[in-house]
Amino acid sequence: MPRRELVQKILALKAERGAVILAHNYQPPEIQDVADRLGDSLDLSRFSASASERVIVFCGVHFMAETAAILAPEKTVLLPDPSAGCPMADMMSAEALGALKQKHPDAVVVTYVNSTAEVKAETDVCCTSANAVAVVRSVPAGRPVIFGPDKYLGGWVKKQTDRRMIVWNGWCPTHQKIFPEQIEQLRKIHLDAVVMVHPEVNPAVAEIADVVLGTGGMLRYVKESAATTFIVGTEIGMVYRLKKKFPDRQFVAASKHALCPNMKKITLEKVVSALERLEPAITVAPDVAGRARAAIQRMVEIG
């Protein structure tokens, strides 16, 4: 079916179902174009908690839809492709976290939102890249922090806060495809460019960047900046997002290989099918959701 017809079908079904379409900043261009709301993990979590619609079509990956389902248990949360996961989230299990907690009984557990509901249920407070530093700073002084699953975000937060942190050994395969040499090369071509990178990148990349920001932070930074060219060190969907929002600036992907295959599993056809069938819906067992909700709500409250 041609793209225009698919979009029309989505608009009609959306009205019929009383649905809202949320999309993460890494989604493919055609999904970003059809979304009612685009954002980073924190924006989308906040929005799902406050949305008035009964049905949320979550164009992103599993942990994002799961977070929405935990925050809005009365709503139907659809993930158009339920196999869209996050390998980093799968690097941390609730059992292994439980064992680490036993070894450090005085520690406060801060978990990146890129994690499973079961891990969140073992967590004191969740965070996203947008508020990880503020969340760790909110931990009472003197208490160590168990942080996971991302060792690079954890290492970066440790550097900013100077707190005692026990950091999990997880990482994002997509952000590991960005290398310092590529950035140095691009800097030689774009002499005045500002280099913005996501905290999930390798520390060797973060060290040579001008700013380290989550995707929402990048959008806010560009808005305030007088620079005209930006080298973007994160998943390539962000380049489309930035170009569309700031058509008078230039955005260059640090690496065209930094593509998250799971984010790209969402298609217009799958959005149509999800709205038609009201499936696949993401649900979380009430006991797990109840324990995870408190940790996510603290995250949503910390700016």
Q: Say which entry of ligand SF4, ligand 13P, none residue 59 contacts (CB below 5 to 8 A, set by partner kind).
A: none
Instruction: Give the residue with the Cβ less far from ligand 13P, 128 or 202.
Output: 128
The amino acid at residue 37 is R
Q: Which stretch binds ligand SF4 (CB under 6 A): 48-56, 65-73, 158-166, 171-179?
A: 171-179
**Cβ(216)–Cβ(245) below 8 Å:** no
Q: What binding mask, one character per residue, do residues 190-219 give for ligand 13P by CB under 6 A, x or -?
A: ----------x-------------xx----
Q: Is the dihedral of CA 177, 207, 172, 250 positive or negative?
A: negative
The one among 21, 40, 107, 119 contacting ligand 13P by CB under 6 A: 40
**Cβ(248)–Cβ(226) below 8 Å:** no
Q: Is residue 41 near ligand 13P by the rule CB under 6 A?
A: yes
DSSP state of 170: B
First to last CA, the chain: 43
Q: What binding mask, one character per residue, do residues 96-135 give for ligand 13P by CB under 6 A, x or -?
A: ------------------x-------------xx------
Taking the C-alpha atoms of residue 22 and residue 34, their distance in angstroms, rounded to an integer, is 9
Q: Say which entry of ligand SF4, ligand 13P, none residue 182 contacts (CB below 5 to 8 A, set by partner kind).
A: none
Closest approach, Cβ 87 to ligand SF4, in A, equals 5
DSSP state of 82: T
Taking the C-alpha atoms of residue 172 and residue 88, their distance in angstroms, rounded to an integer, is 5
